[in-house]
Amino acid sequence: MDNDDHAASILGSLIEGAADAIITTDLDGLINRFNAAAEMLFGCAAPELIGQHISALVPPPRRSEFALWLRLVTQEGRALRGDTEVLGKDGQIIQTYVSMSPLKDAQGTIAGALLFCVDISARLTLQNVLQKERDLLEAILETTNDAIIMVNSARWVVSANLQFEAFFHLARYQIINQPVEVLTEQIKMRPDLPDELVNILLTFVGDAYQSAGGDFEIGGPQLRVLVWYSSPVYAHDGTNVGRLFVFRDATREREVDRMKTEFVSLVSHELRTPLTSILGFTDFILDGDAGPVDGQVREYLDIVKINTGRLIGLINDILDVTRIEAGRVDLKRSLCFIDELIDSVVQSMFLVIDSRRQQLTLKIEPDLPPLWIDRERIAQAFTNLLSNASKYSPADSELIVEARLVREPEDFAAGAPPDIFVPAIQVAVHDRGMGIAPQDQKHLFTRFYRAEQAARRQIAGTGLGLAIAKSFIDLHNGHIWFQSRLDYGSSFYFSIPLVEAE
């Protein structure tokens, strides 16, 4: 075998063994080679096709394009490639990538065309699926009412939806695929957009761990409240791919909330006036000022009085809650001694506690320094705790009230929060009552929340007392906490720091 024959034989084996379909034609486009991979792709045996024109492998609409390719390759020596369609067995269309180049003889003269064909239908199907998913995600992003922006881990803005453009009047094309600083610079130049928006973006953009949220107002022709939320985004494999920022227009919600609070406050005021008059006249009759009151009538009037008192108490609680919600509680501070405050509350509750034959023990440290507080509010908080201790404890049980000065954070009773201020006065109310189940404990201090035990035993209450107590204590930079065991008892604590007069 001479060298040429040897080379031709190696080339032949290479072509036959190639994974891609390889076809060669002469200058007229007649097929003269059709390898095994081509047989697989087209589903025809080589002898069936050898000698046929290449256009037999191409669907009619593509034939003129193919004829042009063949001419450019064989006559002008060009090499062409691209995605196209070919005809498989039984006329089946196969998506393929075809590369067509001139085939030259030993003298370098073009003798025909060499075609590589790769089946790309699987790739196209996958591409289609991916594209559909992308379209769907994009459609969701574009349709949502929230403004959404995604910043990748390299701090580049990679996506911003239509609402983002609408909320902030920032053109998307100017910020997408740009560092986040391009966006923050644009925000800074806009007087209607708050600095807070820049701070939110710059503070959290590089943070791969924390979620955060809040709200802020934006100007423009009409003031709007935006609630925002941001969290890191992770890929399947757990790598951080960036951060999502979501903004929701809560203007209407806030307005409705404000109107609701105002309405409740108005109605409560209107209810309180006639109730106070009912209570006053009931007392008037009970005192005998309207004539003698016999036993049965007195009994009924006592019930009217108790229930009217309860209603007034409830309305006062609701008014407190609405004031707290609206941030309208102004503290009227003065220097007060906690022992005197405790004494006066105990006296006002004495009848209730005594009617249950409960024993109240006071353990007040002597010479406690005065507190700079709103006496009414702290008395209210303490009343709520003492009244709960009595209400949720059986008759004949013992209640203990303690007050002491605490100088070091570790000297507070167990369960105190870590960031508590010292020096402070700690007041405790202990009872041997029904206690609070662990699943209820985490919800205490939430408005209208009542533990299952209390509700089941039909002990009257609204679930407002603790929430109000907490708000009043918070306003004094104090803390409130508790320890409780079901069927054993509870201890509620609050601390008020000894702050200097403002």
Interface contacts to ligand ADP, rule CB under 6 A: 384, 388-389, 392, 431, 433-436, 444, 449-451, 454, 461-467, 490
CB contact at 8 A, 104 and 114: no
CB of 272 vs ligand ADP, minimal distance in Å: 18
In whole angstroms, how close is the CB of 194 to ligand ADP at the nearest point? 37
Identify whether the C-beta of residue 313 lies closer than 8 Å to the C-beta of residue 372: no
C-beta of 369 vs 415, nearer to ligand ADP? 415
Nearer to ligand ADP (CB atom), residue 152 or residue 462: 462
Q: Minimal distance in Å, beta carbon 475 to ligand ADP?
A: 17
Name the residue nearer to ligand ADP (CB basis): 242 or 463. 463
| Shortest CB 431 distance to ligand ADP, Å | 5
Alpha carbon distance 232, 234 (integer Å): 7
What contacts 24+ positions apart, CB below 8 Å, involve 179-185?
Answer: 179/155, 180/151, 180/155, 180/156, 180/205, 181/155, 182/157, 183/149, 183/157
Q: How far is the CB of 455 from ligand ADP (least distance, A)?
A: 7
CB of 399 to ligand ADP, least distance (A): 9
Q: Which is nearer to ligand ADP, 205 or 349 (CB)?
A: 349
User: In angstroms, what is the minimal distance from the CB of 446 to ligand ADP?
Assistant: 9
Buried b / exposed e over 418-457, threshold 16 CB at 10 Å, is: eebebebbbbbbbbbbbbbeeebbeebbebeebbebbeee
Structure tokens at 242: 């960036």
The residue (of 229 and 449) whose beta carbon lies closer to ligand ADP is: 449
**Residue ranges with strand state E in 365-458:** 371-374, 398-406, 424-431
Q: Are strands 333-336 and 240-249 parallel, antiparallel or unpaired?
A: unpaired
Give the residue ranges of DSSP H helices in 247-294. 251-286
Q: How far is the CB of 302 from ligand ADP (least distance, A)?
A: 22
Query: In whole angstroms, what is the distance from residue 250 CA to residue 228 CA?
Result: 10
Nearer to ligand ADP, 115 or 466 (CB): 466
Task: Collapse the DSSP code of 179 into the 3-class scheme (helix H, G, I; strand E, B; otherwise coil) and give the result.
Answer: strand
What type of residue sits at position 58? V
CB closer to ligand ADP, 242 vs 461: 461
Q: Residue 358 in contact with residue 400, Cβ under 8 Å?
A: no
Decide: 123 and 131 in contact? Cβ < 8 Å: no
CB of 170 to ligand ADP, least distance (A): 46
| Cβ atoms of residues 201 and 151 within 8 Å | yes
d(CA 38, CA 261): 78
Q: What's the CA angle centered on 370, arms 366 and 372, to 5 degrees?
A: 155
Shorter beta-carbon distance to ligand ADP: residue 247 or 493: 493
Choice between 94 and 444, CB closer to ligand ADP: 444
